[in-house]
Amino acid sequence: MYRRVAIIGGGAAAATLLSELLDRQPPQPLHLDWYTGDGTRARGIAYGTRSERHLLNVRAASMSMFTSKPRGFLDFAQRGDSAIAGNDFLPRRLYGDYLEAEVTRALERASAHGHDVRIIPFAADALVPENDGVTVMQGEESTRVDAVVMALGALPPQPLSGVSDAALANKRYITHPWPFLADAQPDPTPRKVVLVGLGLTAVDVLLELSALWPNASFTAISRHGHLPEAHLAAATAPADDSADLIESMHAAPDIRTWMRLLREAIAQSSDWRVVIDSLRPHTPGLWQNLPLAERARFLRHARWAWERARHRMAPQILETIHAMECAGRLQRRRARLHAVDVEGDHLHLSITPTGSQVPTPMDADLVIQTVGLNTDVRRTGHTLVHQLVTNGHITPDPLGLGCNATAEGRLQHNGDTWPHLYAIGSLLRGTLWESTAMPEIRQQARNLADRLLAE
């Protein structure tokens, strides 16, 4: 087993792995260094919101941190409100409370079992992986450990191409929406707000700002102009295990065939969501079976449809967004963004409507970038990731989906695999595709804990 382990990252994935490690009783005490960064430990970006309007996109019964305790989050929530049901979509704030409570409990167990846990409220600056361990550098301190796990979550968002330095400098173009929302205050001032992207992040921004700014109007632009789909009011289970569908998809790993097979399966199902959900446990294996050229084809042509169907919102959220549209406060436009610049006291945008070649001007008081998770390690301002890429310690996924890694999470470099450098969560999208939601994170954490503690 590894005796000294460093976990880098302060969000839910790191908290889950830490708790899994401290929940075991290995033959020797552990030395754990947890580099949490400067955010609130355990919550990270995903669960750092304090707004009651921001709900989980997964039902309460499916959000436990631990595969061994499937009712963990539901039990926690019901201790505060016995009326909560497993089908409910609860506030992400409450889930953040649950994460913090589990980490606190894990640290108490650690002390009782003789483990040494150092919580370091800074980000690691650099790593030097070698075949017999890893050196972690933070400030002027250098620490040698047996293994490192990178649990960074999504990387900091980067401005889209075409956004001028002036637009960024005057802070009317918001690249990172979450700190902006945390500081937003009620304001009756009329204003035009443009959102670039129309996924779940855009939905969260619309929910919050429409309530805080009652006289603001919103335009959301995206290539296809579609909102995320919504969950059904009640959970459904597949009529079968979709074994025939999965076998057929493995036998013909190309996107056109897969789309045909999915359409056929959906036509025979009571609801398309049942088919999509039945694929979830098999998605990593299917993705790994897909040639690189077909993965690129998927990202170009089908990713938007998959993301819309797979990452759904609570039914009550969809009702709120539709009410905004009916009231004339939200307009959706199918278009691409080409440029954003400052013009007087507002921003001037150049967009091209889908199906057209002619740019169209648009003005806004504020533009918020809501294009979703950034996992492209080739283009990031993240200090540690930039250092690892620059020094050749990790190999970027060729499609911008994190890092090259094995299915177990060992990071790769120049065709070789580091024996003691691991990743969990978002950085594994290129290997597993489904690697960002809690049902996948908790399984990765359990498997990785088993590996780290193996004799």
Express each pLDDT in 288-338 by its tens digit.
999 999 999 999 999 999 999 999 999 999 999 999 999 999 999 999 999
pLDDT in tens, 24-80: 888 889 999 999 997 778 999 889 999 999 999 999 999 999 999 999 999 999 999
Q: Are residues 71 and 181 in the same domain?
A: no
Q: Do 295 and 416 belong to one domain?
A: no
Please state the rounded mean pLDDT for residues 416-425.
97
Are the C-beta atoms of residues 267 and 245 closer than 8 Å to each other? no
* String of DSSP letters for 375-422: --TTS---HHHHHHHHTTSS-B-TTSSSB-B-TT-EEEETTEEEEEEE
Number of H helices, E strands in the chain: 16, 16
Q: Decide if 48 is inside a domain.
A: yes
What is the total count of domains within the chain? Answer: 3
The answer to whether position 389 is within a domain reads yes
Residue 235 lies in a domain: no
The CA distance from 414 to 353, in Å, is 42
Question: DSSP state, 189?
Answer: -
What the block records as the tokens of 444 is 């990765």
Looking at the fold, whether 106 and 49 belong to one and the same domain comes out as yes
Q: Is residue 19 domain-resident?
A: yes
Rounded CA separation 226/309 (Å): 11
* Whether residue 12 is found in the same domain as residue 103: yes
- pLDDT averaged over the chain? 95
**Can you read off the two tokens belonging to residue 159?**
């401005």
Residue 254 lies in a domain: yes
- Residue 62 belongs to some domain of the structure: yes
Q: Are residues 169 and 70 in the same domain?
A: no
Domain boundary among 310, 329, 350: 310
Which has the closest alpha carbon to 310: 292, 270, 285, 283?
Answer: 283
CA distance 181 to 209: 8
Beta-bridge mates of residue 400: none
DSSP letter assigned to residue 374: B
Six token digits for residue 210: 């429409």
Clarify whether residues 348 and 445 are in a common domain. no
Boundary (domain end) residue, out of 369, 387, 406: 369
For the chain, the distance separating the N- and C-terminal CA atoms, rounded to the nearest angstrom, is 5
Q: Where are the beta strands (DSSP E) in 102-183?
A: 116-120, 126-130, 133-138, 141-145, 147-150, 173-174
**345 assigned to some structural domain:** yes
Same domain as 350, residue 330: yes
**Does the structure show a pLDDT above 70 at 451?**
yes
Amino acid at 40: T
Neighbours of 204 (CB within 10 A): 23
| Residue 224 per-residue DSSP state | S
> What tokens were used for 230?
């919504």
Q: Decide if 166 contacts 342 (C-beta within 8 A).
A: yes
Tokens of residue 37, six digits? 């960064």
Is there a single domain that holds both residue 443 and residue 335? no
Q: How much of the chain exceeds pLDDT 90, in percent?
A: 92
- 339 & 223 share domain: yes
Q: How many CB atoms lie within 10 A of CB 365?
A: 16
CATH number of the domain residue 212 falls in? 3.50.50.60
36 and 150 share a domain? yes
The answer to whether the CB of 127 falls within 8 A of the CB of 148 is: yes
d(CA 1, CA 455): 5
Quote the tokens at residue 153.
């979550």
- What pairs with residue 163 in β-bridges? 340
- DSSP for 341-370, written as a single string: EEETTEEEEEEEETT--S-EEEEESEEEE-
Please check whether residues 218 and 359 belong to one and the same domain: yes
* Banded pLDDT at 212 (limits 50, 70, 90): very high
CA distance 257 to 259: 5
Domain range for 175 is 165-229+312-369
Q: 310, 332, 355 — which closes off a domain?
A: 310
Q: Is the model's pLDDT at 234 over the cut of 90? A: no
Q: Please determine, for residue 455, whether its predicted confidence score (pLDDT) is greater than 80.
A: no
Cα 193 to Cα 182: distance, rounded to the nearest angstrom = 17
Asked whether residue 289 is domain-assigned, the answer is yes
This model's pTM is above 0.85: yes
Using the predicted structure, report yes or no on whether residue 238 has a pLDDT greater than 80: no
Whether residues 407 and 359 fall in one domain: no
Closest CA to 327 of 225, 226, 233, 211: 211
Structure tokens at 278: 């039945």
Q: What one-character DSSP code corresponds to residue 268?
A: T
